[in-house]
Amino acid sequence: MKVSVIGCGYLGAVHAAAMAELGHDVVGIDVDENKVAMLASGKAPFFEPGLPEILTAGIGSGRLSFTTDMSAVKDAQIHFVAVGTPQKKGEYAADLTFVDAAIESLIPYLSDGDLVAGKSTVPVGTAARLATLIADSGSKALLAWNPEFLREGFAVQDTISPDRLVYGVPGGGEGEKAKELLDEVYAVALSSGTPLVVTDYATAELVKVSANAFLATKISFINAMAEIAESTGADVTRLADAIGFDARIGRRFLNAGVGFGGGCLPKDIRAFTARAEELGRGESVAFLKEVDAINLRRRQKVVDLVVESFGGDVFGKRVAVLGLAFKPDSDDIRDSPALDVAAKLKGLGADVIATDPEAISNAEKTHPQLVYTPDIAVALTGADAVVVVTEWKHFRDLVPADAAKLVKRAYVIDGRNCLDPVAWRSAGWEYRGLGRP
Ligand X SMILES: O=C(O)[C@H]1O[C@H](OP(=O)(O)OP(=O)(O)OC[C@H]2O[C@@H](n3ccc(=O)[nH]c3=O)[C@H](O)[C@@H]2O)[C@H](O)[C@@H](O)[C@@H]1O
Ligand Y SMILES: NC(=O)C1=CN([C@@H]2O[C@H](COP(=O)(O)OP(=O)(O)OC[C@H]3O[C@@H](n4cnc5c(N)ncnc54)[C@H](O)[C@@H]3O)[C@@H](O)[C@H]2O)C=CC1
Which residues bind to ligand X, rule: CB under 6 A?
Answer: 121, 148-152, 212, 215, 219, 253-255, 257, 259-262, 264-265, 326-327
Give the other-Cβ count within 10 Å of 103's Cβ: 23
| Distance separating alpha carbons of residues 395 and 358, to the nearest angstrom | 13
Quick one: 11 or 64, whose CB is closer to ligand Y?
11
418 is catalytic: no
Name the 3-class secondary structure at 379: helix
Q: Please, what is the minimum distance in Å from the beta carbon of residue 78 to ligand X? A: 20
Beta strand ranges found along 7-118 (DSSP E): 25-29, 64-67, 78-81, 115-118
331 binds ligand Y (CB under 6 A): no
H/E segment holding residue 163: none
Q: Of the two residues 16 and 412, which places its CB atom closer to ligand Y in the complex?
A: 16
Judged by CB under 6 A, which of 3, 4, 5, 12 binds ligand Y? 12
- Residue 327 is labelled as binding a ligand: yes
Residue 257 region, left (φ>0) first, then alpha (ψ -120 to 50), else beta? left
As a whole number of angstroms, the distance between CA 70 and CA 138 comes to: 19
Has 272 been labeled as part of a binding site?
no
Rounded Cα gap, residues 149 and 22, in angstroms: 18
Catalytic residue among 3, 27, 76, 264: 264
- Contacts by 51-55 with C-beta closer than 8 Å and gap 24+? 51/13, 51/14, 51/17, 51/155, 51/156, 54/17, 54/18, 54/20, 54/21, 54/156, 55/13, 55/17
Tell me how far CA of residue 242 lies from CA of 50, 235, 247, 294, in angstroms.
34, 11, 11, 22
Q: How many residues of this chain bind ligand Y (CB under 6 A)?
A: 27
Is residue 152 part of the contact set for ligand Y (CB under 6 A)?
yes
Using CB under 6 A, pick the residue from 150, 319, 380, 387 that binds ligand Y.
Answer: 150
359 forms part of the interface with ligand Y (CB under 6 A): no
Residue nearest to ligand Y (CB): 9
Stretch of 94-102, 279-287, 316-324, 421-429 contacting ligand Y, by CB under 6 A: 94-102
Element housing 15 (H / E): helix 12-21
Nearer to ligand Y, 35 or 275 (CB): 35
Query: Nearest approach, Cβ of 346 to ligand Y (angstroms)?
Result: 26
Q: Per the annotation, where are the binding residues?
A: 30, 35, 85, 121, 149-152, 208, 253-257, 261, 267, 327, 334
Q: Which residues are catalytic?
A: 264
Residues that bind ligand Y (CB under 6 A): 6-12, 29-32, 35, 82-85, 98, 101-102, 105, 120-121, 148, 150, 152, 263-264
